[in-house]
Amino acid sequence: METNVFSNLERILRSRIAILDGAMGTMIQAHRLDEAGFRGRQFADHPYDLKGCNDLLCLTRPELVEAIHGQYLDAGADIIETNTFNSTSVSLADYHLEHLAYDLNVAGAQVARRAADATMVRESARPRFVAGAIGPTNRTASMSPNVNNPAFRAVTFDQLVEAYTEQVRGLMDGGVDLLLVETVFDTLNCKAVLFAIDQYFEAMRRRVPVMVSVTITDRSGRTLSGQTVEAFWNSVAHMPLLSVGINCALGAKQMRPYIEELSQIASLFISCYPNAGLPNAFGGFDETPEIMAADLREFAANGWLNIVGGCCGTTPTHIKAIADAVHDCRPHVLATPKPYTRLSGLEPMTIRPETNFVNIGERTNVTGSPQFAKLILSGDFEGALSVAQQQVSGGAQVLDVNMDEGMLDSKEAMVKFLNLIAAEPDIARVPIMIDSSNWTVIEAGLKCVQGKGIVNSISLKEGEGAFLERAKLIRRYGAAVVVMAFDEAGQADTVERKVEICTRAYRLLTEQIGFPQQDIIFDPNVLTVATGIEEHANYAVNFIEATRRIKATLPLCKVSGGISNISFSFRGNNVVREAMHAAFLYHAIHAGLDMGIVNAGQLAVYEEIPKDLLELVEDVLLNRRPDATERLVAFAETVKQTGKAVIQEDAWRQGTVEERLSHALVKGIVEYIEVDVEEARQKYAKPLDVIEGPLMAGMNIVGDLFGSGKMFLPQVVKSARVMKKAVAYLLPFMEAEKQRSGRTQAQGKIVLATVKGDVHDIGKNIVGVVLGCNNYEVIDLGVMVPCEKILATARERHVNIIGLSGLITPSLDEMVHVAREMAREGFHVPLLIGGATTSKAHTAVKIAPAYTQPVVHVLDASRAVGVVSALISPAQQVSFAEQNRSEQERIRQAHQDRGPRTLVDLAQARARRTAIAWRSEDLPRPSFTGVRVPDQVPLDRLEPYIDWTPFFHTWELRGRYPQILDEPKAKELFADAQTLLKEIVGRKLLTARGVYGFFPANSVGDDIELYTDGSRSKVLATFHTLRQQIPKPDG
């Protein structure tokens, strides 16, 4: 089938919406297999737990996996996924099964192949396809799991490529029709698998279609690693894909804006397979097949979909409902985006005709910035990051990074600095230009950048072979490229040579390896003028004219240059140099220059250059007179070297110390943290008061912003680092106070663990950091931790609290098991519960009853310190535990009272409708019928009628007005709203408009019909009101 798979799939996707299967894991969990059920006979003696390793069932229970595939095929799936989501050596290492990666993929593909082939024997007219499922692994290549070492990576790009290559080989050998890279939470991981796939295809001279599906993991609309939907698309668009889509994390309703956006920007078929709603309080998924199908039908009716299916919580019943719902909808017509240069960091950057000049920050370059070089050579990478931050704050839209220094390990420095940038969202939001004359350094840099960056540069200096080989790799890594006007004969300095080399390079790139025109950036060489050498006098003119010709003949390509090279003769004289840069840019941009490497934030304005200096500078740049250099040199000697001191007042520095600390934590600013913490220490009675007061107040704001989707994970991690530094400063003072008071031990000792069967730990890591910052000793056991290890460690280390974390639904059952074992073994320490699928309700109903001591659900990291402090403090622990117990008892009672809802038959509900014998004389008659528009109504007259309850719900505060004002946050919000309302009314910022009307109406069955007039002959509108089916007394 492989020879026809491309054409068959494309034909189907253009003619109808194809159906993808649902959740394999959900179906496996329904079988409630025990440890032996996973092991089978083959792994009976395996020394480690295997329960939860679903992929292993392809070897130990292949008939079970094949049966599940069959159920999905019978439900209408056109494409089924292999049960290989975690079948890489990286993920399997948690089960000590990494040696089985190839075998599991072969087996997974063969099992799915048998199921698909058997279905096609029965239904030969309808092709079925097997997609090799490739998950993201349990590691992230663009983020550090260690908040104290943001440059560290738990897995490298090369390690991922090796693991993914093995997986792809197994899937292909097992007989898949296509590959599906899914649940992408880190784009660098995704780029690694795409690199492996493309490399494997080329080596084997065999290709199959490839699908990619990203996961939007939080309410800010970003991936876990911080990218927006469009930034992600720009990062992976280099790969020839069949489709791109979104899956997991969200239900269909929550996924709506992101799938709509993707369908508008991506030039591929679009896939969508959401979860069955959001997880409920118990980690399950409640969204019925009918509700989910209705939502996805709307997506299909809007023309957004080519492929649709289900992720977590979906079953064959869901897939059948979805297939039925979309069967008559037309498929998405592929978008045709304009061929613009599209780059990305955490956010997209598109260079459109109206973009004007793109500033590429030059100061993160050891060869061009003595300050940056000094910082890097001394190992002050934090100081080096501040240079990058200044460049971005100053207007750099791309950041050039160069580590070419003889006394430096350039490759190591490049990797470390780019990894550090990835942890700084205010810097990482812009694309990176990896700048080096050493190909090894360039390639090392490409392996660190999740966005679509730029390589600076390659050239024809070493011949066409090396040029094309490197260009092909740059394309495979997903970057744009700068091509220098340099060939085997040397650097081009004339207009003709510049244009000739760039044109030759263009033809090689586009005709031989299909490099997109818009991703080619030519640098026709900005060379130094005013050197006193006559041959150099026309260098600026030649660059400008070459730019004009390149843009005229190769219009989709871009032109760039290192602007500061033009003024190198005047190094040390910033006044003259900045004037030369501004004037040169003015003329080059008019000729078509798209971008340039500049000192962002320190560009002079052309119109503000003194007229006498401008004339001298342009005489040199445009070579207007033979003595131009001598005249500019003479002028330069008269300029006082005072430089330009640009003073930028940071308004936030004028606030109170509490406001400054809060701002620093929210923004992740470390520069002033020690100064401000010292000021706070002088103000507060004890160092701990600074932590529990303004610092935790700031972290609570961070938690609230993260919860509301106004911050995303990299920013929270950055805030945690600021907190860490603040606490580190206070620690000596706290230790001294302990010595004086006789208290020399930590506030408390907590063991944290991600429970057995779960490999997710990012949230747990943040909790650990925040607790550690607050002088608690944290023992982090990592992921996949068995119950017995948790309890043994807690007993050996005499901990005060045990904290359990989990992200997937099966973790909830494991948490209950841990609680039961704690009770059985006689533990008396509190138990904390946290993670994405956990909730107050599940904790109260399922976990707390299994253990006699306090079991507390912790919403997020910012709440952890307050909870731990209350549980450990002798003054608070009794009252806090009682309050927690009472709240959980209330939740349990409410859950018990709710019980399962039974609905009566619709016909029965209709028969029980209340019958009222209306008398005509009882019916009030309106003074008019039809529509009226009242005169303008003063706002103060409307104010008493405002229903404030929906207002509070919008801000995610639950309750009814006015009772909700008992809640301090609601009271504060209401006061702010009243202040704003008074301003609106007082200044008449809004105008009240209204319309109302009366119409004749009749009930018709469950509906209400409105009529145009009293004759009731013409229906104006119909209100559909389905009758309630809740059991009620007759009448």
Active site residues: 758, 760, 811
DSSP strand pairing (930-932 vs 996-998) = antiparallel
834 beta partners: 805
In 3D, which of 200, 197, 217 has the Cα closest to residue 762?
A: 217
516 upstream amide cis, omega within 30 of 0: no
Strand, helix or coil at 753?
Answer: strand
CA distance 146 to 154: 9
Give 1014's DSSP letter: T
**Do residues 526 and 581 lie in contact, with contact meaning Cβ atoms separated by under 8 Å?**
no
Nearest to 582 by CA among 569, 558, 562, 563: 563
Three-state secondary structure along 607-671? HHCCHHHHHHHHHHHCCCCCCHHHHHHHHHHHCCCCCCCCCCCCHHHHCCHHHHHHHHHHHCCCC
Class of residue 922 by CB neighbours under 10 A (exposed 0-12, middle 13-18, buried 19+): exposed
Structural tokens at position 188: 């660098």
Count of CB atoms situated within 10 Å of the CB of 528: 17
Q: Per 3-state DSSP, what percentage of the chain is helix, strand, and coil (rounded to 5)? A: 50, 15, 35
- Structure token digits, residue 648: 């930028």
Torsion of CA 273, 277, 278, 279, to 10 degrees: -100
Backbone angles phi, psi at 1024, to 5 degrees: -90, 120
Please name the residues in contact with 157: beta carbons below 8 A apart, sequence gap of 6 or more.
141, 188, 191, 192, 195, 447, 448
Alpha helix locations (H) across 513-573?
Answer: 539-553
How many residues are given for the chain?
1035
Cα 34 from Cα 456, distance rounded (Å):
55
Which residues make Cβ contacts (< 8 Å) with residue 586, sequence separation at least 6?
606
Question: CB neighbours of 669 closer than 8 A, spacing ≥ 6?
Answer: 663, 722
Beta strands 210-214 and 178-184, pairing class = parallel
Region label for 929, one of left (φ > 0), alpha (ψ between -120 and 50) or beta (otherwise): beta
Amino acid at 762: I
Residue 1023, class by beta-carbon neighbours within 10 Å (0-12 exposed, 13-18 middle, 19+ buried)?
Answer: exposed
